[in-house]
Amino acid sequence: MSTTVIQAEAIENIPQHIAIIMDGNGRWAQQQGKRRVTGHKAGVESVRASVSCARKLGVKALTLFAFSSENWQRPEKEVSVLMDLFMFVLTREVKRLHKNNIKFQVIGDLSRFSSKLQQKIAEAEKLTEDNTSMVLSIAANYGGRWDITHAAKQLTQKVLNNEIALDDINESSFNAHTSLAQLPELDLLIRTGGDYRISNFLLWQAAYAEFYFTDILWPDFDEEQLKKAISIFNQRERRFGQTSDQIKK
Ligand code: IPE
Ligand code: IPE
Ligand code: MG
């Protein structure tokens, strides 16, 4: 029996849906006197380790923040390297994801990406659409405010088209128009890199998520780190507005 299996059994309660703000690539590289892009390349290994570990543990959905709607403001060269890397990794990894029965999807406003990249994404989503072991969502050109605005716009359009009434807009129908609506509720939100903020990630979805912040820089985040985050999640008491006594009953 491998150590992975033993440890998986030791964790009693596996979160169904984990999201990660993968931060600290640039600093990781700079600490070693290397260019920031070296950190982005090294970060790909951490993505692979997290996907593989999450799937083995039985996590149902893993959502990774790869590129925010604000990241376009970075130097042009860094943005273009990130796009190339995304394209390269997608091409290389999609077969492996498929082999592992993982459903792949990208959330965010894809319209700003090159048509070649959009096509690659569509192909990967199509290939893996019926897979059932885990859903891997990559947030790219994603912003929580964009997500909420987008849902509001879609619902408004339906009202204007007389497809629904104004009173049909409620938390549940609104939620159905946001990204990740078809997945289990977000249980655990991890941020690496030492900052304590959400940076416009899953604003709507994080309503009752547990937050876990670590100083570890993303390229140093591995299977052990993920298990540590999950075991700390296990020590939390999620009350959802109720009292501790009510929860224990
Ligand atoms: C996260 O690492 C990756 C992206 C935002 C694409 P950073 O590039 O933000 O690394 P730091 O925070 O500057 O170290
Ligand atoms: C958040 O990291 C976005 C991703 C990890 C993709 P940033 O590095 O862009 O966040 P800020 O700018 O420090 O808040
Ligand atoms: Mg950063």
Domain of residue 229: give its range: 3-143+186-234
The residues that bridge with 161 in the sheet, in sequence order, are: none
pLDDT of residue 11: 72
pLDDT of residue 6: 40
Residue type, position 137, single letter: S
Q: Is residue 156 part of a domain?
A: no
CATH number at residue 80: 3.40.1180.10
Catalytic residue at 234? Answer: no
Whose tokens are 């990241």? That residue is: 71
Q: Is residue 59 part of a domain?
A: yes
pLDDT of residue 12: 78
Q: Is residue 249 part of a domain?
A: no
Domain count for the chain: 1
* Residue 202 alpha carbon to ligand 1 centre in Å: 17
* Residue 114 alpha carbon to ligand 1 centre in Å: 22
Q: Is residue 150 part of a domain?
A: no
Q: Is residue 128 part of a domain?
A: yes
Q: Is residue 63 part of a domain?
A: yes
Environment class of residue 222 by beta-carbon count within 10 Å: exposed (0-12), middle (13-18) or buried (19+)? Answer: middle
Counting ligand 1 atoms within 8 A of each CB, the residue from 25, 47, 80, 215 with the most, and so the one to mutate, is 25
Q: Which residue lies with its CA nearest to atom 13 of ligand 1?
A: 26
Q: Is residue 158 part of a domain?
A: no
Residue 135, classed as helix, strand or coil, is strand
Alpha carbons 66 and 22: distance in angstroms, whole number: 7
Q: Is residue 161 part of a domain?
A: no
- The ranges of the chain with pLDDT < 70 are 1-10
Whose tokens are 């900052």? That residue is: 195
Neighbours of ion ligand 3 (CB under 5 A): 23
pLDDT of residue 4: 44
pTM: 0.95
* pLDDT, tens only, 191-205: 999 999 999 999 999
Helical H segments across the chain, by residue range: 3-10, 25-31, 36-57, 76-99, 115-128, 144-160, 171-176, 223-235, 244-248
